[in-house]
């Protein structure tokens, strides 16, 4: 026998957990090695809690990177798909013919290409359009988005050379013009990066895409957030006030950007993906680059993004979970908070809260919302609930913001809060 029977017996005694036997063996072995066989079940539970699972987002942060950013319902039966098959000719087709083309249509671009995430989109654009050449970027836009995405580092990995212009707070058209026109330089692109997650205020100056477009080299705008159209034609009430000033793909292209890049799971409300939209020749250069093969998404993502793009073209994108939650009237959230607080009993209060878009979008922008608060810090107990409820602590109280909670989960929130406020 290659393993002490007690490990195997202990593992078998936990078969009711439903976890695979090898996992239970690991849990049993770890507990025995620690001299605490009685804690084997705790090890198994800890394993289960590391698995991906549904959680209730009570943080009020709509695009919470730790919670997978935009929530999205997709129903994909097991099936083959014509990912790269042209059904007319029977020949090999283009992976961009579906989602990429539809997103491009939605933002008024000639062509579109989908990759794995926004960082991959920027990397591919720089590698395909500027390897070995200069890319002109304002010093005020050398951003770090988080999770290791830093413009200078991505630039270095792409093989393009960063040419910084201007200063942290002020960059003028003349700064760009000098770099683009420098006879000893070799500018391939001007890159405009959206300062997604911070602001520069005070004595500042910035150059608009329209002015940059006249400089003679293609302008690439890394928008990050993926707002398709500033007019939000898919929202019955038009653009919410909190979106003011957020650059949108359609308007940035119309202003003269040759290419825009953005994420699929930020303000687009879709699956994790990166989108490259713009001039057909440039997008196709990206598609032909060897890195495109390494960065391409699979059928699951393409299919989900296709559905999202169709909903924008249909003007039904208001029903995407992100937009539905983001635009839910605060009064409705207040009523739900009142019902939950009443169900929790004394100690639970309705509180006005400020939701955020999050995910590195719209820094400092708050969306008025309502939540339920109970005294004390119960974040750990709420995370231990089934399903886990992720909350925030504000001024010594645990708050669940209802803007990011599906109404169907109100009962879950009420039960979880009632349990902790009694305890």
Ligand X SMILES: *Cc1c(COP(=O)(O)O)cnc(C)c1O
Q: What residues make contact with ligand X under the rule CB under 6 A?
A: 117-119, 122, 145, 149, 193-194, 196, 222, 224-225, 263, 274, 360
Closer Cβ to ligand X, 164 or 410, answer by number: 164
Closer Cβ to ligand X, 364 or 396, answer by number: 364
Distance between CA atoms of 316 and 28, rounded to whole angstroms? 51
CA distances from 89 to 92, 102, 362 (A): 8, 21, 45
Distance between CA atoms of 278 and 114, rounded to whole angstroms? 12
Min dist CB 65 to ligand X, Å, is 8
Residue carrying structure tokens 């908070």:
337
146 bridge partner residues:
149
Min dist CB 68 to ligand X, Å, is 12
Task: Say if CB 217 and CB 189 are below 8 A apart.
Answer: yes
Min dist CB 162 to ligand X, Å, is 15
Min dist CB 249 to ligand X, Å, is 13
Min dist CB 192 to ligand X, Å, is 10
Closer Cβ to ligand X, 271 or 371, answer by number: 271
Task: Say if CB 145 and CB 113 are below 8 A apart.
Answer: no
Closer Cβ to ligand X, 44 or 155, answer by number: 155
Distance between CA atoms of 188 and 386, rounded to whole angstroms? 53
Distance between CA atoms of 158 and 147, rounded to whole angstroms? 18
Closer Cβ to ligand X, 126 or 414, answer by number: 126
Min dist CB 280 to ligand X, Å, is 23
Min dist CB 204 to ligand X, Å, is 18
- DSSP three-state, residue 122: helix
Task: Say if CB 130 and CB 188 are below 8 A apart.
Answer: yes
Closer Cβ to ligand X, 227 or 287, answer by number: 227
Q: What are phi and psi of 69, to 5 degrees?
A: 55, -130
Closer Cβ to ligand X, 274 or 371, answer by number: 274
Bridging pattern class, strands 134-138 and 397-401: unpaired
Residue carrying structure tokens 């491009």:
104
């Amino acid at each position: 026998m290659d393993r002490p029977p007690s490990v195997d017996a202990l593992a078998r005694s936990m078969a009711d957990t439903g976890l695979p036997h090898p996992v239970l063996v690991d849990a049993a072995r770890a507990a025995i090695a620690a001299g605490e066989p009685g804690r084997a079940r705790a090890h198994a539970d800890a394993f289960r809690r590391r698995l991906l699972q549904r959680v209730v987002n009570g943080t009020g942060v709509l695009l919470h990177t730790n919670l997978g950013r935009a929530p999205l319902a997709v129903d994909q039966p097991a099936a083959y798909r014509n990912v790269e098959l042209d059904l007319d000719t029977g020949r090999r087709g283009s992976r961009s013919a579906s989602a990429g083309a539809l997103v491009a249509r939605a933002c008024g671009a000639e062509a579109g290409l989908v990759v794995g995430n926004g960082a991959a989109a920027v990397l591919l654009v720089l590698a395909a359009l500027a390897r070995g050449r200069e890319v002109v970027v304002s010093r005020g836009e050398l951003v770090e988005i988080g999770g290791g995405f830093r413009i200078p580092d991505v630039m270095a990995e792409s093989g393009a050379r960063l040419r910084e212009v201007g200063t942290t707070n002020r960059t003028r058209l003349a700064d760009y013009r000098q770099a683009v026109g420098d006879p000893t330089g070799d500018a391939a692109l001007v890159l405009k990066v959206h300062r997604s997650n911070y602001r520069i205020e005070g004595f500042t100056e910035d150059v608009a895409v329209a002015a940059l477009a006249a400089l003679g080299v293609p302008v690439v705008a890394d928008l990050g957030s993926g707002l398709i159209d500033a007019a939000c034609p898919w929202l019955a009430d038009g653009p919410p006030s909190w979106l003011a000033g957020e650059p949108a793909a359609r308007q940035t292209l119309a202003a003269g950007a040759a290419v825009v890049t953005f994420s699929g799971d930020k303000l687009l409300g879709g699956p994790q993906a990166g989108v490259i939209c713009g001039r057909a020749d440039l997008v196709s250069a990206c598609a032909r680059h060897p890195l495109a093969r390494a960065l391409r998404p699979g059928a699951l993502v393409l299919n989900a993004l296709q559905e999202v793009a169709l909903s924008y073209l249909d003007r039904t994108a208001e029903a995407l979970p992100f937009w539905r939650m983001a635009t839910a009237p605060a009064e409705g959230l207040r009523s739900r908070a009142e019902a939950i607080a009443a169900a929790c009993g004394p100690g639970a209060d309705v509180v006005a809260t400020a939701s955020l878009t999050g995910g590195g979008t719209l820094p400092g922008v708050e969306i008025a919302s309502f939540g339920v608060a109970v005294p004390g810090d119960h974040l750990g107990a709420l995370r231990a609930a089934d399903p886990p409820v992720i909350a925030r602590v504000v001024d010594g109280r645990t708050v669940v913001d209802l803007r990011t909670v599906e109404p169907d989960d109100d009962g879950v929130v009420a039960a979880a809060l009632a349990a902790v406020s009694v305890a």
